[in-house]
Amino acid sequence: MNHIVFGVTGGIAAYKAVEAVRQLVLRGCDVKVVMTEHATRLVGPETFRAVSGNPVAVSLFDAEGKPIEHIYLARDADLVIVAPATANLLAKMAHGIADDLLTTTLLATRAPVLLAPAMNNLMYRHPATQHNLRLLRERGVHFVGPESGALACGEEGEGRMAEPQQIVDAAMGIFALEGDLSGKRVLVTAGGTREPLDPVRYIGNRSSGKMGYALAAASRRMGAEVTLVSGPTHLQPPAGVELVRVETAAEMREAVMAVAPGCDAVIMAAAVADFAPRESSGDKIKRRGKESLTLELVRTPDILGELSEGRAAGQVLVGFAAETGDLLARAREKLGAKGVDILVANDVSLPGSGFDADYNRAVLLFRDGTERALDLMPKAELAALIMREVAGLLGGKARERP
């Protein structure tokens, strides 16, 4: 049984936390709710006691004035969730402030922490809040959301708390990660490449890098030594991961080939350009006097194919196929052509998944001919699932395939 401490702060989205707790209990989790004083003005502790089946803690002291054992809560938790995580909570956690039961528990725990931020869009975008988010991500804190949409203040924008099912899915993704990759070296590529036309323009694609970064984070949490080769992206690298930044397909090939021979698994999640301009102008191309512009494109290196041909015995190779048409036919063709152990195929034209989204819907194709179609899920959960399969191929336990 997974033991969860579920923190609820004084954000208006506290009512959503009730459903999240209920769903976690239905998943077989033991949930102990810790509320701040402000949260109790929005949702009564008895509501959480009813859905969790456990007493709800609010104060550092119980009704008889005895101190509540926050170290016990922190020590026995397998995961700590805070939903909603207000701007105030993020600031306290980032700077080690422990002035109530929840923040004291957060400071004492060594369990993974999952935060579901919720606040006004202006508060979310404030430089102080963004700084606090960066600090927490660098320490390995997990996040789900926030989403964009209608806010309680009547405005529209980013800051809406993730839905209960999203929070539960993210929690289950964290629980799926065990130490199955301890002692292994994993290389992950992420993001798109940029092929320069001139000093200010380039040919690129819409890859955000989120899938690759999620895979790197999942690999690290499973105990692997991880190198992340990343094209340009605005994402923060996962804590404990060696980051190598590249820009072009040629640079990515050079970085990958330098690291791959010593790795147990190579996960090629990057959206590498298939073509690049034959020549790049040293000066900005002017449109003056031109009615059209013809570019000659040449093929970029086939990094995945080169890896497949030269890989060491026992090395696991995972490829990705981002398609917009006949997904399975094209994925099966690529699986055979590239000689990978696992091919992750997804239709990037579907709404709400694929490029620059937090969710993905994929089909896993295996070298032995089996296939596994997956429902829409957070990229963090999909990353955990993929890395469990990789661990299985390296000698650990893979999940049962339906």
- Residues carrying an active site annotation: 153
User: What is the C-alpha separation between 212 and 360, in angstroms, rounded?
Assistant: 12
Joined tokens for residue 56: 């709800």
Q: How far apart are CA 268 and CA 136, in angstroms?
A: 27
Give 6's strand partners: 33, 81
List Cα–Cα distances, 78 to 75, 90, 102, 119, 382, in angstroms: 8, 21, 16, 27, 21
Which residue reads 């003005």 in tokens? 41
Q: Residue 4 class from Cβ within 10 Å (0-12 exposed, 13-18 middle, 19+ buried)?
A: buried
Neighbours of 95 (CB within 10 A): 9
Contact yes or no for 258/185 (Cβ under 8 A)? no
CA dist 175 and 164 (Å) reads 17
CB 366 within 8 A of CB 357: no
Specify the length of the chain in residues.
402
Q: Work out the burial of residue 398: count CB atoms within 10 Å of its CB; fewer than 13 is exposed, 13-18 middle, 19 or more buried.
A: middle
Query: What's the 3-state SS for 289-347?
Result: CCCCCCCCEEECCCHHHHHHHHCCCCCEEEEEEEECCCHHHHHHHHHHHHCCCEEEEEE
Bridge-based pairing state of the strands 316-323 and 342-347? parallel
CB distance 242 to 258 below 8 Å: no
CB-CB neighbours of 400 under 10 Å: 5
Contact 364, 374 (CB under 8 A): yes
